[in-house]
Chains A and B, each alone.
Chain A
Amino acid sequence: MEFARVVGRRRDIHFYSPWQPVEMEKVQKVLEAARLASRAMNVAFFKAIVVLRDQLSPADRDALKTPFARHQFDLAPVFILWYHDMDAGPTDFAERRWPAVPSGAVYEALALPPLLGWSDRYVSEVVLPEVLGPAWSRGRRPGGNADVGVAIGQAVLCAVDQGLGTSLAPFSEDAARALFSVPEGWEAVTAQFLGYPLEDWAGIGQRAGEDLAPAVFEGDARTPFAFDEDHRERLVAAGMLTAPDSAPWRASELAYLRRLLDEANGPSQGRNHGTPLAGHEPQEGA
């Protein structure tokens, strides 16, 4: 699918088809897309553990749940637990590990052009002591890394491109560490859920419920970016911009989907953040 349409169709999917497995080749493609993402100094700050829902007990799934991620662990057949590898930079620096910049691999691939001053000598005399050394010789630096988000972004888009539903939500870091033997140097970032969507992306407004205060500026941080509405029409035609508000039938869709869950007696009544389905009569918004 074209990039613009993939962007336009992506929504946070909450209802996954629990009975339809995700093909492993689709999971692999999602990972391959993440691996090709931009990264500073060619270091893989991201790491991931792919978890197959059916290989976990209900109790283990419950342990992973958080207030933002409950049903997803019961409905989505696959979840990718994304981590920030805090040892990646320091290890690549200390061991000159291939293919990070300290190893010389990127320079040898002529990706860092000599005409911009990149040379073995520049790397060894300037980049390593002035940039990477101060940053990475102090060891682990918790608090995430934007490059992990960059990689996840490509994984999300690739999932949508393959017709999968996907969403991002936090998981219990402590539970995952115990369940999946996660190294100490890995910091939890987010779970990415994968499955075939039961809900229709077109029903969920692209900007529904959002605060539309200015968030894009130009020249300085006080001057709002002047968006050209004619160009926005072209982005609508390209499929990137879609209906901002949820469809009139969104409430009905959610009501039907709830019947499915009710008939299944609520797939999750776990001890952590179990979902209050029984006796719960919410008014669906749309």
Chain B
Amino acid sequence: MELGELIGRRRSIRLFRPWRPVEREKVQTVVEAMRLAPRLLGLDLVRIVVVYKERLSPIELGRLKTPTTTAQLDMAPVLIMPFADLSVLARGLDGSGLKALAAAGVLPRSLGWSDDYIEATVVPEVYRALADDEDRVPLYRRTEPGQTVSRRLLVTAVTAVGLAQTYGLLGAFDQGLGAQLSAINFAAAKELLGYPDDWLPSSPIFLGYPAESVGAGGQRPREPFERDFHLGRHGVPFPRDPDVTRQLAEEGMLQPAAPLPWRRAELRGVASILGLPT
């Protein structure tokens, strides 16, 4: 699908067809896309665990639920759970990863990416600075209290995971699947999946065939454009050109706002199919 329309079609799908499994090759496409997301600081931070709901017992499934993630966990056949592997930084301190990227022509030596520059500047000023960073913040997603991590490393790690998540979401919708990022109980997930202590979990992608229509009742509301984007300095709104928004509407990136007139009827119909309360 054309990227603009794909971005326009994406919704947080919460109603899946529980009877229809997701083909393995579609799962593979999603994780291949996630692995192609941009990396930050030359670090391969992202790890992914694919979880098949059919392999979980009802008790295990129940333990994963949170107040905002309930029935969708019963309906989505697959969860794709991303992590940031914080141990990657320690392994990169010798600069070997960056040197390999420079040797492969990814980091251009013409722009100064020599082995000397990596060893004398990048490793001490970036990697070592992160490893020794005194600006630390709590690792709130961890079960052990009191753990802290470099704030800058955490920013980098969670951003890298977010980049992979968006590639995964779009990869799902591109194949006709529905998907949503939603919370799960991380303590229960750690027990179930046995991931290392150095892996920082993030919201999984719930994956399945949507029980809702394409577009799921309209594009979700967004705050004013000018609240988010500034030009030149904070306080100067980026000028939103209505001709561009018209063009984006024609291309399908901007779509009619939710709720569409028939949305309530759709939800009643889906509820009766899925045996959910109306």
Contacts and interface: CB of A to CB of B under 8 A. Distances in A.
Contact of B50 (A10, A180, A217): A217
Given A67-B125, A146-B165, A150-B163, A7 B33 contact: yes
Contact of A14 (B1, B29, B111): B111
Contact of B229 (A48, A161, A182): A48
Interface string A218-234: 11111001011001101
A44 B163 CA distance: 16
A157 B3 contact: yes
Contacts of A147: 162
B50 A215 contact: no
Contacts of B194: 220-222
Contact of B8 (A36, A127, A182): A36
Nearest to B48: A216
Q: Is the interface of A mostly helix, strand, loop or mixed?
A: mixed
Contacts of A245: 104
Given A7-B36, A117-B70, A228 B221 contact: no
Kindly state the interface size class of chain A when it binds its partner: 35 or more
Residue among A12, A153, A245 having the largest count of chain B Cβ atoms under 10 Å? A153
A59 to B, nearest CB: 17
Contacts of B165: 38, 146, 149-150, 153
Contacts of B40: 168, 190
Contacts of A127: 67-68
B105 A111 contact: no
Given A10-B36, A35-B228, A161 B3 contact: yes
A217 B154 CA distance: 23
B231 A50 contact: yes
Contacts, number: 409
Contact of B155 (A143, A250, A280): A143
Given A149-B161, A153-B163, A55 B122 contact: no
A226 B33 CA distance: 16
A158 B4 CA distance: 8
A61 interface: no
A31 interface: yes
A190 to B, nearest CB: 6
Contact of B7 (A33, A110, A179, A221): A33
Given A44-B223, A106-B220, A241 B105 contact: no
B71 A110 contact: no
B213 interface: no
B35 A215 contact: yes
A285 to B, nearest CB: 4
Interface string B251-267: 00110011100011001
B115 to A, nearest CB: 9
Contact of B160 (A111, A149, A203): A149
A231 B169 CA distance: 19
29 contacts: A3-B174, A7-B171, A8-B36, A28-B238, A36-B8, A38-B169, A49-B234, A68-B126, A110-B259, A113-B14, A115-B274, A115-B277, A127-B67, A143-B138, A144-B159, A148-B159, A149-B164, A152-B163, A153-B38, A154-B166, A158-B3, A180-B233, A210-B44, A217-B48, A218-B51, A221-B196, A246-B105, A254-B109, A286-B104
Closest CB pairs A-B (n = 5): A149-B162, A153-B166, A209-B104, A144-B155, A208-B104
